[in-house]
């Protein structure tokens, strides 16, 4: 029996249509994970694999945290489920208040979802409904940004800016897109590039074309993650904020990756010093152990819905999920936020970010490395394309890393890194050395 299969039969392998995966290649050569602890996965063939992406940007506090497991178990034995519509349970209110303490001032009303994608949809629906409640029903258009990623549901795909995620699904919602901020002038920038704030002015062109009276919101990731770590040029987000303010357009920050420590702060809004109207969160909220997301809005938005809500037993917002604020997810999130604070993990992440910047830029002279970017405890390499096969090189590099005992993400033409906040210096060093070797091997056709 091939131990890489973890004892699974071919029929079992075939039954699961895996997400965002080359299913045929995976099922020919599975990369099966059977356990995790701290910064390491165990593979089915018994190897320890360093988790170079904190799961999927989720597990910054490391895997198998007993504090979170204990909270989940206790919750399961006390209240396993409570209806989320019309009835409540204490955990969700405690968690909502706990989250607001980490948000910029004014963002203090929390709507729970089960994923980043659902948080995005929730934010877009709230934005449109808000203007209708304010008597401005024509404000419906949503503005995204090229290379943006906002999950996989129709709203998120519509404002998203990664062509491959949109191409095969037909017409989307009525949107427009800002240009992305990945400029050739900024190759090999460390942290935020100095050049590029002028790109925010494109919003004025979009407003001129569509008119602010038709635009509900602009949504951006403060640091674009999935497209390969694009930190905002200095001054860019502030300029977006100012333009939105002047034209009565809501600004949504999609902080599904950046919230709760990835940038060494509670949010990207905090790091970049710009306060949006709405923030979407997920991933690190429960340290990845239970699906959960949320949309956090300015109090004034919430109050508008309350004031325009009709009789007080009526729904102010006809929206929500069966599993919104699931008691077990709330317990996991409360334990996670407690742990992040108790162990000072935002600070750890910020300290490691300097090391990552120093190490990763040592790869800039390697063949195939077209660009390197970093921001907080996140970094990406853009890899030159193989003739006729634009995605082949990153795929091959990531597989070599897996063979060497390191999990990294390959997506589009990039390799992405985002290690746990509890990583040790030697582990970053080891990861970056292995990456250098892998890039060289692929460049040499090995």
- Which residues neighbour 131 within 8 Å (Cβ) at sequence distance 6 or greater? 137, 139, 140, 216
CA distance 441 to 50: 20
Total residues contacting ligand PLP (rule CB under 6 A)? 14
Shortest distance, position 238 Cβ to ligand PLP, whole Å: 20
Site for ligand PLP in 352-391 (CB under 6 A): none
- In Å, how far are 106, 177, 181, 364, 416 from 185, measured between CA atoms? 37, 21, 11, 15, 21
Minimum CB distance to ligand PLP smaller for 271 or for 434? 271
Nearer to ligand PLP, 92 or 117 (CB): 117
Per-residue binding string, ligand PLP, 273-312, x by CB under 6 A, is ---------x------------------------------
Q: Minimum Å distance from CB 225 to ligand PLP?
A: 5
**Scanning the structure block, which residue is given the tokens 């131990």?**
3
Site for ligand PLP in 148-207 (CB under 6 A): 149-151
Strands 250-254 and 215-220: parallel
Compare residues 419 and 432 and give the one whose CB is closer to ligand PLP: 419
Choose, by CB under 6 A, the member of 75, 84, 92, 117 that binds ligand PLP.
Answer: 117
**Is the Cβ of residue 221 or residue 427 nearer to ligand PLP in the bound state?**
221
Among 226, 382, 416, 438, binds ligand PLP (CB under 6 A): 226
Q: Note whether 144 binds ligand PLP by CB under 6 A.
A: no
Residue 33 Cβ vs ligand PLP, minimum distance, rounded to whole Å: 18
Nearest distance, CB of residue 299 and ligand PLP, angstroms:
23
Structure-token match 């919750």, residue found: 75
Tell me the torsion sign for CA atoms 149, 150, 153, 157.
negative
The minimum distance between CB 120 and ligand PLP, in angstroms, equals: 5
Least distance (Å) from ligand PLP to the CB of residue 293? 6
Residues 97-116 that bind ligand PLP (CB under 6 A): 115-116
Interface pattern 231-270 for ligand PLP (x via CB under 6 A): -----------------------x-xx-------------
Cβ 402 to ligand PLP shortest distance, Å: 20
What is the chain's alpha carbon radius of gyration, rounded to the nearest angstrom? 22
Instruction: Decide whether 319 or 361 has the Cβ nearer to ligand PLP.
Output: 319
Beta strands, E only, 248-390: 250-254, 278-281, 293-298, 369-374, 379-383
CB of residue 115 to ligand PLP, shortest distance in Å:
4
Distance CA 182, CA 236 (A): 13
Write a three-state SS string for 357-412.
Answer: HHHHHHHCCCCCEEEEEECCCCEEEEECCECCECCHHHHHHHHHHHHHCEECEEEC
Q: Which two tokens stand for residue 194?
A: 């100095």
We find the least distance from the C-beta atom of residue 117 to ligand PLP, in angstroms, to be 3
Q: Which residue has the tokens 């045929």?
A: 24
Residues ≥6 apart with Cβ < 8 Å to 395 = 22, 410
For ligand PLP, the closer of residues 282 and 408 by Cβ is 282
Cβ proximity to ligand PLP: between 18 and 137 the closer is 18
Element (H, E) at 68: helix 66-78
Tokens of 322: 């069966």
Which of 227, 363 has the CB closer to ligand PLP?
Answer: 227
Q: Is 46 left (phi over 0), alpha (psi -120 to 50) or beta?
A: left
Looking at the Cβ atoms of 108 and 165, the one nearer to ligand PLP is 165
Structure token pair of residue 363: 């790869």
Rounded least distance, CB 152 to ligand PLP, Å: 6
Q: What is the C-alpha to C-alpha distance for residues 379 and 376, in angstroms, rounded to an integer? A: 8
Single residue of 52, 55, 225, 418 touching ligand PLP by CB under 6 A? 225
Give the residues lining the site for ligand PLP (CB under 6 A): 115-117, 120, 149-151, 221, 225-226, 254, 256-257, 282
């Amino acid at each position: 029996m091939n131990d890489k299969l973890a004892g699974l039969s071919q029929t079992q392998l075939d039954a699961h249509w895996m997400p965002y995966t080359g299913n045929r290649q995976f099922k020919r050569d599975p990369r099966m994970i059977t356990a995790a602890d701290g910064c390491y996965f165990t593979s089915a063939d018994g190897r320890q694999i360093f988790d170079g992406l904190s799961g999927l940007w989720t597990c910054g506090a490391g895997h198998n945290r007993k504090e979170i497991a204990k909270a989940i178990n206790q919750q399961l034995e006390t209240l396993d489920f409570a209806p989320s519509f019309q009835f409540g349970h204490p955990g969700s209110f405690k968690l909502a208040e706990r989250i607001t303490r980490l948000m910029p001032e004014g963002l203090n009303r929390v709507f729970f979802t089960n994923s980043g994608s659902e948080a995005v949809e929730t934010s877009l629906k709230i934005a449109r409904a808000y203007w209708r409640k304010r008597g401005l029903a024509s404000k419906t258009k949503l503005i995204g940004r090229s290379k943006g990623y906002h999950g996989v549901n129709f709203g998120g795909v519509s404002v998203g800016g990664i062509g491959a995620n949109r191409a095969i699904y037909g017409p989307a919602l009525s949107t427009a897109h800002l240009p992305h901020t990945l400029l050739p002038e900024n190759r090999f920038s460390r942290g935020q590039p100095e050049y590029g704030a002028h790109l925010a002015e494109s919003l004025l062109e979009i407003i001129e074309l569509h008119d602010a009276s038709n635009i509900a919101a602009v949504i951006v990731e403060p640091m674009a993650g999935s497209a390969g770590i694009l930190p905002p040029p200095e001054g860019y987000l502030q300029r977006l904020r100012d333009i939105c303010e002047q034209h009565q357009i809501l600004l949504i920050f999609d902080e599904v990756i950046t919230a709760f420590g990835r940038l060494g702060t509670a949010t990207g809004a905090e790091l970049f010093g710009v306060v949006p109207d709405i923030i979407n969160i997920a991933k690190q909220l429960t340290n990845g152990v239970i699906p959960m997301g949320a949309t956090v809005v300015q109090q004034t938005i919430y109050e508008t819905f309350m004031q325009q809500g009709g009789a007080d037993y009526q729904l102010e917002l006809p929206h929500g999920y069966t599993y919104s604020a699931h008691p077990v997810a709330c317990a996991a999130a409360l334990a996670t936020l407690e742990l992040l604070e108790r162990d000072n993990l935002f600070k750890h992440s910020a300290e490691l970010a300097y090391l990552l910047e120093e190490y990763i830029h040592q790869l800039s002279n390697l063949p195939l490395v077209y660009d390197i970017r970093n921001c907080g405890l996140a970094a990406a390499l853009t890899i030159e394309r193989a003739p006729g096969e634009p995605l082949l090189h990153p795929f091959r590099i990531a597989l070599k890393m897996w063979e060497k005992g390191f999990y990294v993400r390959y997506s589009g033409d990039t390799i992405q890194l985002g290690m746990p906040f509890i990583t040790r210096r030697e582990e970053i060093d080891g990861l970056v050395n292995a990456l250098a070797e892998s890039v060289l091997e692929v460049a040499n056709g090995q």
